[in-house]
Amino acid sequence: MCWYLYLIRMENNALYTGITTDVERRFVQHQTGKGAKALRGKGELTLAFFAAAGERSQALRLEYRVKQLTKRQKERLVAGEILLTSLLKSD
């Protein structure tokens, strides 16, 4: 089963990072307040980025790495200036 890493942009321009097997379903859950508590009441949400992340274990490692990035680095990831695969090179 393929897992995906995704970033959601909140109204305040902050980026939330998560993983799922179904990006569309998970995004709808977040929009309807049934996803992560961190996104509830944060206004309009936009799916900023998603990419296949392989198996669950690899997706978890990628999620951790992305959460460690600075806001600027996350924005570069969204813009396509950083490749997701480059985040696992030191493994």
Q: Which pLDDT score, from 0 to 100, does residue 90 have? A: 54
Average pLDDT, the chain: 92
Q: Is the pLDDT of residue 74 over 90?
A: yes
Q: Is the pLDDT of residue 91 over 80?
A: no
pTM for the whole structure = 0.92
Residue 81: exposed, middle, or buried by beta-carbon count in 10 A (0-12, 13-18, 19+)?
exposed
How far is the C-alpha of 26 from the C-alpha of 34, rounded, in Å? 9
Q: What is the pLDDT of residues 4-20, one digit of tens each?
A: 999 999 999 999 999 99
How far is the C-alpha of 71 from the C-alpha of 58, rounded, in Å? 22
Q: What is the pLDDT of residues 26-53, one digit of tens each?
A: 999 999 989 888 888 888 999 999 999 9
Please report, rounded to a whole number, the percentage of residues in the chain having pLDDT higher than 90. Answer: 76
**H or E segment to which residue 42 belongs:** none
Closest CA to 7 of 63, 54, 86, 68: 63
